[in-house]
Each structure stands twice: as structure tokens, then as C-alpha cells.
Amino acid sequence: MSLAVVGISHHTAPIEVRERFVFSPRAGAEALVRLTREGVGEAVMLSTCNRTEIYIYTAGEGGGGGEGEGNAGEKAGEGRIEQTIELLARQAGYTIEEARRCLYVHGGRNAAEHLFRVVTSLDSMVLGEAQIQGQVRAAYEQAAAEPPPKVVGPVLARLFQTALSVGGRVRSETALGVGAASVPSAAIELAKKVFGSLKGRRALVLGAGEMSELALECLTAEGVRTLVVANRTEERARELAERVGGTSVRFDELPAQLPTTDIIIAATSAPHPVLTRELVERALPGGPRHPLFIVDIALPRDVEPAVDSIENVFLYDIDDLYQVVDESLERRRAEVPAAERIVAQGVDDFWRWYAGLQVVPVIQALRQRAEAVRRTEVEHALRRLAHLAPGDREAIEVLTRQLLNKVLHEPTVRLKEAAADGNAEEVLEMARFLFELGEEKGG
């Protein structure tokens, strides 16, 4: 068995590298289908403003699901991991070696633990942020809903469902998310460092998704006087703007908005910059008369980096939010040990189930062998007891099946326990030898 995750995040690469690995929803779905057609059994892609990750599982590649699987980087699944790295490298326009320098690979138990830490925000740029759980859920549900050929099977389904359950426990049983900052709220904190109070300011929000909605809520709470929402789909922009008493515009109306705007929060899903230097210079010849503060929290970035060179324009991207975030984390950091304990328990629960998968073929082979022996002996005995009534013959069948189940119960339990304890291979080899089960391997 082979379980792994290959990815890139804010821990391993700056934004100008991460944005090269971003897939559109359609391209992401096509990539997962391609992986499964090329031999990967199951696949889920998680793509957020801070990470692109592909979780993969392939059965029947030898190995097994014990502790050593994670520690050894799942040697049995190296071929599938290589396929995933190649796919990500192609998306980024990198060579394989260039991609390796910024990608991470976690195998086996480590892959499961990584997802659990991601979904609980322990791996997030903003510790305790609430958006990541919804993003993980959306990624899983989108992959699970793909039409045939299916890209999600029982293993990744169990992994993601368990991870989401653990995320819910951390939210309800710890204070990790109490008063937690989000990426948009960190952007607003940065704006306050530039302007002081935001009361009376005029803000423009690009995009109408979840991050834009959060940004609008934060701006409203800070007393921003005028709120404008720009989005490619005008209806969605109007709906969002009306909630906060703002107005909506189309993207082609952006130049007219810039001269009176103080703050821009950019959070679209556009594959290319929405705000270019040429557009800003055309709208603001000679530069803005007052400071224009722009925070780009999109990935790929919405604002062309060259905009920062315009006088009186102050451009920040998502990586610039680290300092702001670090200053507001002390309370949430105190909750990390409690969250880590819940994650560890969740990983243990999943791993017991996952490790037990490799013993299933051996248990099935053992029961089939025992049942064949039982059936042969019963048929032989009944030929010599032809005088028995049908009811008596059935009683013999029931009795022997019950005896068989009782005899096999303890070995079955012990095999599953051995798998959960990481000792499966040695015990399974002994079972194959003792019961002449051949070379059935875990799947």
C-alpha cells in the first residue's frame, strides 16, 4: 500500500514560486483523472492561497501500512510519487529537479499527520484561521464528486473524513480558533499600521469569494466609510456589496475607482494580474495624490509586482503578512498542545484502520483455506452418514461453521493488532508459512 502527499506551501517557497503551481478547478480535476489513469489509485488536490498539495493512494504495491512506511518515505510508492512530482513540475514550467527543491513529500503515517495538521490550521500561516477546514472539505467533496473514472476511493475518503472530524474537535474542544486572525484580518491590521484608524477611508475589494467577504467584514468593523466590490461576475459583486451597504462595479470600471480609493484588497481567482502597472498609471497619471495601500492576498497574484514602483503606492502580498500575524498569535499558541493531542489521537485512529488493510488479504486467504478444509471433511463425513435426516445434516453444517469461526477469531484479532502496532510484516509472513497461504500481499 502507498499513501503520500506531494506539495508546496508558504513554508517551502515564496509567493512568486507558489503561484506557478496553482491549478484552475478544471485543470486540477483533469490532473487528478490523469494521475489515476496512469496508475495512482486515488487522488485529491488541495489548493489554497498558501499551498498546492496532491494526496495520493495506490493499493497493491507491496510494502504494507506499518510505522516504517512513513519513516522510509514509502519506498514502495516512489513511482507514483515521481508521477505526481512530474505533474506538478509541468504545471509550474519547471524541470523535475527545479520542482524538487521547493516540493515536500510525506509518506504513510506522516502524510496522514500532515493533512490533520493542515485541517486544524496548525500548519497555516495564520494559526487558528477558520477558512482552511472549509477549503479541505471543498477539495475532498469536489474530488469525490468527479464522474467516472472515480479519483477518490475508500482510503482517501476515510482519511479526509477523519481529518475533518479532527478539525471539528479542535474547534469545539480548544480555544485555538477563538479570536483567531484570518488572512484578510491580518491584511486589515497591516492597513492600520499605514493609516492608523481606517474610519472614513474608502476601500475597494477585488473579487467576491470567501476571502473577499471576510475582508469586507473586517473593513466594515473598522469603520471604513465607502466600500466598493469589483468582480468579473457583476451579480455576485452586487449581492456581496449590498450586504455591507456598499456598491459594485465591473472590472472594466476599475480605472475610474482608483483616484478616490485609499485601500485595495485583492482576492480574485483570476489566472493573471487584474491590476497592472499600465492600468494604474493610466488611471493615476503621476501617481496617486494620497497613499494608496494595496494588499494582494490572491494566488496567483492579482496585482502586478511592478505596481509597487509607482510613487505613493504601497503594495503588499500574502507573504508580507507574516510579521503582522506573528504579533497576534500568543493566545492561540497556548492552545497548540491541546490541539496536537487531538491530532495525535486522530492519526492513531486512522492509522489503526489503514494499517489493518494489509492483513485483509491474509485473513481472507486463511478463512478460504479453512473453509475449504471444513467443506471437504464435512462432505466426506456426510457421505458415510447418508442415513441422517436433512435437519441433522444441516446441524452438522452449522456446528462446523461455528467451530471454524471460533477457532479463527483469535488469529484474526491478533493479525489486526499486529498491523496496528506496526509489526504486521513479521506476523503475516509467519501466518503465510504456518497455514501455507502462499505469497498474498497486503493491499
Report the C-alpha gap between 45 and 65 in whole angstroms.
22
The β-bridge relationship of strands 247-249 and 51-58 is unpaired
The dihedral of CA 328, 209, 299, 95: what is its sign? Answer: positive
Q: Which of 184, 246, 250 is nearest to 213 (CA)?
A: 184
Residues labelled catalytic:
49
Bridge partners for 230 per DSSP: 206, 249
Report the C-alpha gap between 257 and 278 in whole angstroms.
15
**R_g over Cα of the chain:** 28
**Amino acid residing at 296:** D
Q: Where are the alpha helices (DSSP H) in 38-77?
A: 67-71
**Amino acid residing at 256:** A
161 contacts 192 by C-beta, under 8 angstroms: no
The residues, ordered by sequence, that sit 6+ positions from 44 with a Cβ below 8 Å of its Cβ are: 32, 54, 55, 139, 140, 143, 151, 152, 156, 160
The residues, ordered by sequence, that sit 6+ positions from 130 with a Cβ below 8 Å of its Cβ are: 121, 171, 177, 180, 182
CB atoms within 10 A of CB 407: 11
The residues, ordered by sequence, that sit 6+ positions from 138 with a Cβ below 8 Å of its Cβ are: none
